[in-house]
Amino acid sequence: MPPAQSGDHDESVLVDRLNELFQGILPPMACRILAALLITDEPHLSSRDLAEHLSASSSSISTMARLLNSLGLVDRDVSVETRRDLFSVDSEAWPRTQLNGQEELRGLLLALNDAVMSREPHSASAVKLRSMRDFYTFMYDDAPHVLARYAQWLEADSVKKAWPEDAARLEG
């Protein structure tokens, strides 16, 4: 795998930030794989590329890359020539992941509502469960609107306003 353009330090910082963001959700190796796929200029990386770059075992790479794929964060293809798994991240991963999570969130909301309804209305447990249910109901209801606003934001070139230095680099 070719080295990252921005250097090992930037990769290390990104891995640290991803670990913080996904703490308790993704194992550290999954964060390292995600960071490697984000910073490479190659269209995809093989399991072997990732194992070499991250100094990790093939089985660890395979397990964690498949986890990322199951979550919709990473795409997985198989090379026709080598029959190796090829992993990549595309620009649609983030909205797709959000949409995929809606189904799981709906199941959680139904379970939370059942738990709320099975308790005394003013009990401490009902109050806590209701708070969680109500927050995630709000998030569930608002997600489609957020994704629609994101698409509009992209179409309006709002990225240029949010990140002017990067926009200038792209235009220069």
Domain ranges of the chain: 8-88, 93-170
Fold of 8-88: Arc Repressor Mutant, subunit A (1.10.10)
Give residue 150's pLDDT band: very low, low, confident or very high (50, 70, 90). very high
Distances in Å between the Cα of 24 and the Cα atoms of 21, 30, 105, 172 are 9, 12, 17, 41
Question: Do residues 79 and 46 make contact, with C-beta atoms less than 8 angstroms apart?
Answer: yes
Q: Tens digits of per-residue pLDDT, 89-120? A: 988 888 888 888 888 899 999 999 999 999 99
